[in-house]
Amino acid sequence: MELVKPTIEKICSFYVSDWHLVTMLLPYINKEINEKANIITVLEKDIEENIVTLIDRLNLKNREKILKINWKKSNGIKYSEIKNKIKEEVKEDKLNIIFITGNKNYMDITNKNIEKFLQENSKKYKEINIKIINCFEVGDFNTNIIDILSEHTKILNTSGEKAINDVFDGYEEKIN
């Protein structure tokens, strides 16, 4: 019997400040909500004030839906908290976009816990469609950018999702 796994796509993004992050995310999230995506956040830092301030200045169709997203700092990244978040917030009939922001360790642990939960519950979530967007603050990561890029299929920037080699000339995916 073939084990069916949920579809998980990983995308990375890089930002220089919370304002840059919010400026990049809002148009993308607005577009994805128009396409009926479900937005979930796992944030190491609270960015709600930035979201509210910027959304007040923009004319976005999905203003109220964006404001209903949890932009507050997540309580933690323990497995039990991630498990509860997925159970409560993931929708089986929609594309689920999970934004993770924080330092590299925070994102690594969060990603592993999401993958572990989905693997352990593969029968229930076998047809779930998840896009994980890991947002790295440029000043906070000390690992090689090539390693980060090789763990993701695309990159998200202010103009949307792009192929990594379209953004980083000369990038060639590492072959393990």
For the chain, which domains are there? 7-167 (3.40.50)
Residue 2: pLDDT over 70: no
Tell me: pLDDT of 92 over 80: yes
Mean pLDDT over residues 81-86, rounded?
92
pLDDT of residue 1: 44
Nearest by Cα to 173 from 141, 151, 143: 151
Do 77 and 113 contact (CB within 8 A), yes or no? yes
pLDDT in the model for residue 175: 52
Higher-confidence residue of 170 and 1: namely 170
Mean pLDDT of the chain, nearest integer: 88
Over residues 128-155, the mean pLDDT reads: 86
Strands 129-137, 7-15: pairing kind: parallel
Q: pLDDT tens for residues 8-30?
A: 899 999 999 999 999 999 999 99
Pairing of strands 154-157, 160-163: antiparallel
Q: What percent of the chain has pLDDT over 70?
A: 92
Q: What is the pLDDT of residue 21?
A: 95
Q: What is the mean pLDDT of residues 62-71?
A: 95
